Chain A
Amino acid sequence: MPAGLNRALLTVAGAAVAVVLAIAICSVAIVVAGGSPFDALAAFFDFGNSARAESNSVATFLNRAVPLFIAGLAVAVGFRMNLFNIGVEGQYRIAAICAAFVGSTFTAPAPIQIGIIILVAAAVGGLYALIPAVMKVTRGVNEVISTIMLNYIAIALSAYLLREPFAGERAEGQLNTTTPPLPESGMFPDLNFVFEWFGMLPPTRNGGLWGFLLVAVALGVVIWVVLERTRFGFTIKASGLNSPAALASGVNPKKMIIAAMVLSGAIAGLIGLPEILGDRGAYTNNFTAGLGFLGIAVALLGRNKPVGIAFAALLFAFLDRAQGALQFADIPASVVTIIQGAIVLLVVVANEVTNRVALRIEERRAAQQLGRNTPVEVAA
């Protein structure tokens, strides 16, 4: 389909321009801060000076990309329908602590143990997202407001759960509060063997390359199929493109809001699992925060398409990984945040521009083709 290819190429070109511009903007920021942009660039590609450090850096990079990808998917499902689920942050935190606690209460063979943990996480995330969905459908509460508020509740609630009902025993000399540890069967097998295929040493830091990567890839494929090939995906697309037309075509907007929001929340519920099942084996007060908000940026950057989100997650993870290396190079690590922010802003602009250009091209192409194909319009 050349028309589709055209659009895809334009999108990629737009994103590339945005990234280059963002780097340029940040170079200026770095110079102003008294650093050298070239040192910074070197730091981004400095994966360490020993074989082990290199492996660890690659694993850190990929491990960071996985939750970002899932977060991007969660946000994108809502965005597709013009639903702004800002509540991914709260949904994944509450889901993570519940799943970690439930997983620690029993021991079963690994597939069952892990399966149940995943189901609990998805269910809790979905249920938490159901609240703003029901509020919107029954009372017309704007989901942006309600999900932001629910984020505060979720963050405070998970802090409370961690201290009181879900608290595990604190090890001698440990300052961290955590949920009870998962049994061995609850830990997802790592993918460190992949490194050996490339003749690298297996990574050792933070549990190596998390196996949840495979779940994320599978999830991405499933979401793509659901959005692009099923009737459910079609109704989501129709509702997002033109809700009055969807309504007139028999799509029930209330049902769709609930379904999309719950699906978004259920995916969000999985965001925390790579870390819990791959490394910590528990929900601790060191648990990575902010992934839900980053997911919004990742989804924007990836244009709400699973493949795009995968690239966006990899890019963000690549930038995030360099934070340590940048500090060694005497450049403030917040440069990364500036780059990420600049990229998102520029990509939003670039998306708008390429979208318009693509539509214009499509119109022109249609007009040209018709001009050639049809002789003279029959006068009535």
Chain B
Amino acid sequence: MSADTLATARPAVELEGITKRFPGVVANHDIRITVQPGTVHAIVGENGAGKSTLMKILYGMQKPDEGTIKVNGTEVSFRTPSDAIEVGIGMVHQHFMLADNFTVLENIILGAEPKRAGRLDTAAARKRITELAAAHGLRVDPDRLVEDLGVGDRQRVEILKVLYRGARILILDEPTAVLVPQEVDELFQNLRELKAEGLTVIFISHKLDEVLGIADAITVIRRGTTVASVDPGDVTARQLAELMVGSELPTPETRESTVTDTVALRVSQLTVEADGHHALPKGVSVGDYAARLRSEGKRLLLDEVSLQVRKGEILGIAGVEGNGQSELIEAIMGIRAAHGRVELNGRDISGWSTLRRREAGIGYIPEDRHRQGLLLEASLWENRVLGHQTRKPARNGIWVDRRASKADTQRIVEAYDVRTPGVDTLALALSGGNQQKLIVGREMSGEPAFLIAAHPTRGVDVGAQAAIWDHLRDARAAGLAVLLISADLDELIGLSDSIQVIYRGRLVAGLDPREITPEQLGGYMTGAIAGNEEM
């Protein structure tokens, strides 16, 4: 070090041109971030924008293909997280990594045990932990079992664990996702104290109001690259949201209405219990049962959701993730047991299996294509068969009709512009956008009557996004009923004929997309604006 005085002015972390490629997914591309020491630096972006990959790179869990990482002005190259810990970077994961049957103290020292003459030196550990806790205002009782602690306490243990290992730069991955508001306030108080002690905090989130409340600097990531570095004093939540979603993206605008009067899908009083499905007691209606559960203080993942989608209509479901969207989809698909009624073209399908529902004409673009939509290690044509294994052209008696399946996959490849060397290629060799186009093509095959499109353009490139929007619009014009679930508010407003807002398992507002702004929609989604209970 030439001059110690300069050291303080050096950025704590400097990322230059970080690029990471994965087969089949949007990776990081030319990421540039400068984090000043002694600040809380927020990194915001949608789900799937590449925040987690970036943090894994910074924490040594993954190696970037290109680019440099500088910590306190020195270029570093991490092979494992222990390399990152060595230079003072610590990470608090979204999902806590604590041993429940250990005490707080044991958890904190686990893997970094102080030893004296070959024996565990508990006294030294206790002293150190008490000092750290006092210095940073992180109150914990070192002798309590972790299983007895609440979520907020566990998070403090995680933070202490990282500090104990000498971290001066803390990465917090979506730390508020699991906290209730009071705990969030407490966490923020802790973060301010850490900052006052000269520590640097990198704070990952997609909750904009929280970010504006705590951060000293904000970097926005969109589609794998850094799009802006802003000062929280200069931006509004609305502007941040625009930066996250990207206003220069092609607009998914749907022009003239094609909504008909025929109801394709009708859902009435769909209710999903949080602690497993129980049969309805005899003679009790769904409404009464749900009311009883509510009065008992039980949480309902879906709380008497009723909606209808007409032919030629796209109904958008807006909501912050985790408010019942997944449960709604899975209940309609018959994957998850639910109370209430689902009707397709006037027929009650509530008791039908997933297979029968699919055969009756329900298409399903799942929210996580790798989990629910694809066999990654199977060929494209086999993926075409998936979900259509009992229907033409895939089926031929007890056999899979390989020739017809391949021919039809070729049709999808051409019609949906799936970029692939051939239909025998394994699905994992395709980029995320091309995988998604294949899924869209598959689910539109066989003339579906109703389509569930969950985040249809998440993690795909701009070109594929525009193509998928076009396909959805064309299908709608041809009379398809679509239930669209998306976190991309512009997509939701642009494509939908009407929007329902889901909040804590309830539909709280029915809105007209022509009259709503993303800002207002955000208000409904977070419960800030009370719903109009139109239905």
Residues A359 and B420 in contact, CB atoms below 8 Å apart:
no
Residues B389 and A235 in contact, CB atoms below 8 Å apart:
yes
Which residues between 14 and 70 of chain B lie within 8 Å of chain A, taking CB atoms?
Answer: 23
* Chain A residues, Cβ within 8 Å of B465: 380
Could you tell me the distance between the alpha carbons of A81 and B386 in the complex, rounded to whole angstroms?
16
Which residues between 373 and 408 of chain B lie within 8 Å of chain A, taking CB atoms?
Answer: 373-378, 382, 385-387, 389-390, 395, 398-400, 402
Can you list 15 A-B contacts (CB < 8 A)?
A231-B400, A237-B382, A238-B389, A241-B375, A241-B376, A244-B372, A245-B371, A245-B386, A248-B354, A250-B358, A252-B353, A362-B425, A365-B421, A379-B462, A380-B466
Could you tell me the distance between the alpha carbons of A4 and B462 in the complex, rounded to whole angstroms?
33
Residues A362 and B429 in contact, CB atoms below 8 Å apart:
yes
* Chain B residues, Cβ within 8 Å of A245: 371-375, 386
- Looking across the interface, which residue of chain B has its beta carbon closest to that of A3? B424
- Looking across the interface, which residue of chain A has its beta carbon closest to that of B22? A363
* Chain A residues, Cβ within 8 Å of B375: 237-238, 241-242, 245
Instruction: Confirm or deny: A138 has a beta carbon within 8 angstroms of a beta carbon on chain B.
Output: no
Known: A248-B333, A380-B250. A370 touches B419 (CB 8 A): yes
Residues B419 and A374 in contact, CB atoms below 8 Å apart:
yes
- Looking across the interface, which residue of chain B has its beta carbon closest to that of A7? B426
Known: A3-B425, A362-B429, A365-B421. A231 touches B372 (CB 8 A): no
* Chain A residues, Cβ within 8 Å of B420: 366, 370
A69 vs chain B, min Cβ distance (A): 25
Instruction: Confirm or deny: B428 has a beta carbon within 8 angstroms of a beta carbon on chain A.
Output: yes
| Residue from B356, B385, B395, B463 in contact with A379 in the complex, judged by beta carbons closer than 8 Å | B463
Q: For the complex, count residues of A whose C-beta is within 8 A of B.
A: 37
* Seed contacts A237-B382, A241-B376, A250-B353; 14 additional CB < 8 Å A-B pairs: A3-B426, A229-B399, A229-B400, A230-B399, A230-B400, A233-B400, A234-B382, A242-B371, A248-B333, A248-B335, A248-B366, A252-B355, A365-B421, A365-B429
1/0 contact trace for B454-466 toward A, CB 8 Å?
A: 0000000111011
Could you tell me the distance between the alpha carbons of A159 and B356 in the complex, rounded to whole angstroms?
47
Could you tell me the distance between the alpha carbons of A4 and B359 in the complex, rounded to whole angstroms?
32
* Chain A residues, Cβ within 8 Å of B421: 365-366, 369-370, 373
Could you tell me the distance between the alpha carbons of A178 and B378 in the complex, rounded to whole angstroms?
49
Considering residues A3, A231, A365, which has the most beta carbons from chain B within 10 angstroms of its beta carbon?
A231
Known: A238-B375, A242-B374, A362-B429. A231 touches B386 (CB 8 A): no
Could you tell me the distance between the alpha carbons of A373 and B413 in the complex, rounded to whole angstroms?
14
| Residue from B364, B387, B398, B419 in contact with A232 in the complex, judged by beta carbons closer than 8 Å | B398
Residues B395 and A231 in contact, CB atoms below 8 Å apart:
yes
* Chain A residues, Cβ within 8 Å of B377: 241, 359
Instruction: Confirm or deny: B245 has a beta carbon within 8 angstroms of a beta carbon on chain A.
Output: no
* Chain A residues, Cβ within 8 Å of B355: 249-252
Instruction: Confirm or deny: B430 has a beta carbon within 8 angstroms of a beta carbon on chain A.
Output: yes
A152 vs chain B, min Cβ distance (A): 32
Could you tell me the distance between the alpha carbons of A1 and B421 in the complex, rounded to whole angstroms?
12
Query: Closest 10 interchain pairs by CB?
Result: A250-B355, A249-B387, A366-B429, A369-B421, A248-B372, A250-B354, A241-B375, A380-B466, A363-B23, A363-B429
Instruction: Confirm or deny: A367 has a beta carbon within 8 angstroms of a beta carbon on chain B.
Output: yes
| Residue from B359, B364, B389, B462 in contact with A248 in the complex, judged by beta carbons closer than 8 Å | B364
* Chain B residues, Cβ within 8 Å of A246: 386
A6 vs chain B, min Cβ distance (A): 11
Instruction: Confirm or deny: A377 has a beta carbon within 8 angstroms of a beta carbon on chain B.
Output: yes
Residues A250 and B426 in contact, CB atoms below 8 Å apart:
no
B binding-site residues for A, Cβ under 8 Å: 23, 250, 333, 335, 353-359, 364, 366, 371-378, 382, 385-387, 389-390, 395, 398-400, 402, 419-421, 424-426, 428-430, 461-463, 465-466
* Chain A residues, Cβ within 8 Å of B333: 248
B370 vs chain A, min Cβ distance (A): 8
* Chain A residues, Cβ within 8 Å of B382: 234, 237
Could you tell me the distance between the alpha carbons of A380 and B468 in the complex, rounded to whole angstroms?
12
* Chain A residues, Cβ within 8 Å of B399: 229-231
* Chain A residues, Cβ within 8 Å of B398: 230-232
Instruction: Confirm or deny: A175 has a beta carbon within 8 angstroms of a beta carbon on chain B.
Output: no
* Chain A residues, Cβ within 8 Å of B357: 250
Could you tell me the distance between the alpha carbons of A370 and B357 in the complex, rounded to whole angstroms?
37
B351 vs chain A, min Cβ distance (A): 14
Could you tell me the distance between the alpha carbons of A244 and B386 in the complex, rounded to whole angstroms?
12
- Looking across the interface, which residue of chain A has its beta carbon closest to that of B356? A250
Considering residues B335, B372, B430, B466, which has the most beta carbons from chain A within 10 angstroms of its beta carbon?
B372
Residues B250 and A363 in contact, CB atoms below 8 Å apart:
no
B21 vs chain A, min Cβ distance (A): 10
Could you tell me the distance between the alpha carbons of A373 and B399 in the complex, rounded to whole angstroms?
34
Residues B378 and A241 in contact, CB atoms below 8 Å apart:
yes
B392 vs chain A, min Cβ distance (A): 12
Instruction: Confirm or deny: A247 has a beta carbon within 8 angstroms of a beta carbon on chain B.
Output: yes
* Chain B residues, Cβ within 8 Å of A1: 424
Considering residues A1, A245, A377, which has the most beta carbons from chain B within 10 angstroms of its beta carbon?
A245
Instruction: Confirm or deny: A171 has a beta carbon within 8 angstroms of a beta carbon on chain B.
Output: no
Residues B386 and A249 in contact, CB atoms below 8 Å apart:
yes
* Chain A residues, Cβ within 8 Å of B426: 3, 359, 362
Could you tell me the distance between the alpha carbons of A230 and B462 in the complex, rounded to whole angstroms?
39
Residues A231 and B373 in contact, CB atoms below 8 Å apart:
no
Could you tell me the distance between the alpha carbons of A238 and B387 in the complex, rounded to whole angstroms?
10
1/0 contact trace for A1-25 toward B, CB 8 Å?
A: 1011000000000000000000000
* Chain B residues, Cβ within 8 Å of A248: 333, 335, 354, 364, 366, 372-373, 387
| Residue from A247, A367, A373, A379 in contact with B429 in the complex, judged by beta carbons closer than 8 Å | A367
Instruction: Confirm or deny: A32 has a beta carbon within 8 angstroms of a beta carbon on chain B.
Output: no
